[in-house]
Structures are given as structure tokens and as C-alpha cells.
Structure 1
């Protein structure tokens, strides 16, 4: 069951949108306004006590863009398991992967979304 979004989570998500990483900004430019095959993505979405980098509810797809602080993160494993149990598919990309090869990242997102919408 989804938890209500607290004001602090909502404020934190708003701050994260305003202070996005270069990789997040680059990927958002490709995802926003249904530019990627008509898929509707939202960014920095508070959900179930977490902040999701990008989510497409119609395809049940969560995209996380990670820096080195996420390497071998047990918290990310727990978080991913939580959302997989909710029926979401999670894709994780490293910042440099998004910055160096955004076309490949977008292709991977399209492939994952195929048949999930």
C-alpha cells in the first residue's frame, strides 16, 4: 500500500529537481514531454518513502542515475526489491554512462518499456 507523501519528502524532491546532476539533466532532456516513444516520465518523484530519479507509471518503469556513492549499496538492493514487489522494473545507469552514451541509455529504456505499457 502506498504511503502518503510527507511535506518533507515533497520538499526534498523539489530541491533535488532544482539541483540535478549533469547526467540527470541530460537524461531528462530525452525523457521529458513524452519525447521517448510517447512514454510519460516524471522526475524526482517521492514514493513509498523514497525519491525516484525517473518513473514511468504506465510502463511500471523506474530509472535511477547513480554516482559512485551507489556502488555496492545494500540500501539500493532493499529499495529495488521493494519496488519490484510492487511490480516495477528498475533500470540503473551510472552518471558517466548517461553522459557518454545517452543514445544507448535511451535504447535500453525503450527495450525495457516494450510490452510493459
Structure 2
């Protein structure tokens, strides 16, 4: 289990380097069609009143969408994420983030394009799971 370095704070950015903020800004300006579709459903606290941020730095990573209150990341995966080397990198990244108390949902571009309502329902169900876990 790889924890974030101890000098990283427990805040929203978990000690992200300044270069991550520049990269995140660039990613926001160059969002994919699918990210834009999902963002339209997440922005302005539309999903059950939770605030999501897009292209949000956390440690050395940049999350497609992040809700700090829930410690929830939503990753939107295109075909690129099916390559064996990328699958391995994604799994390592997911494990590091989970080991640091962050839940990750991976959604494909295809799912967003074909049934955004189901995607939103699935995210809402994950939120229910997180809330139930937090009450234990």
C-alpha cells in the first residue's frame, strides 16, 4: 500500500505540485465530448447537491471529476484505456488512490454516449454506498 507522502496535506489537493494545476487547466480547456456530456450533469451541484470539480489535481494525479465531500473520483475512459500498458497504469493509480481513502468509478465513453441517465443512476448508487459506509 503506497500512501501519499507525509508532507502532503489531507486537503482537497493532497499536496499536488504546481505543474499539475497548469496541466489540469489545459485539460479543462480540451475536454472530450463525453467529459462535456457528463460535466453538464454534474456541474453546479446538480447531482444530489454534491459539488464536483473537473480535471482536479490530487497528489501526482489529475482526476477527471472529483467530489471532495464524498472522496469520490469519476474517471471517463476512452479506447486508450484498453491498451495493456494503460490498464496496468490505471490499476496502479486506482490502488494508490483507494489506499488513501478515495473511491474511484470508471465509466467508458461508450456508456456516456449511449445512456447518460444510467450513468447518473449508477453514480447515485455509488454515492448511497459511500454514505452508508460513512455511517458505520
TM range (shorter): over 0.9
- The gaps in structure 1 that reach 5 residues or longer are none
State the Cα deviation string for residues 24-53 of structure 1 (Å, max 9, x = none). 000000000000110110110111100100
- Counterpart-to-counterpart distance in 2, 1:93 and 1:76: 13
1:113 aligns with 2:127: yes
1:7 aligns with 2:21: no
Q: Match for residue 18 of structure 1? A: 29
1:104 aligns with 2:115: no
| 1:36 paired residue among 25, 34, 47 | 47
1:90 aligns with 2:113: no
Q: Match for residue 67 of structure 2? A: 56
Q: Is the CA contact (8 Å cut-off) linking 2:45 and 2:51 kept in structure 1? A: yes
- Counterpart-to-counterpart distance in 2, 1:39 and 1:106: 13
TM normalised by structure 1 equals: 0.93
Q: Match for residue 75 of structure 1? A: 89
Regions of 4+ moved over 6 Å:
none
Deviation of the 1:115 alpha carbon:
4.6
TM normalised by structure 2 equals: 0.81
Q: How many residues align?
A: 117
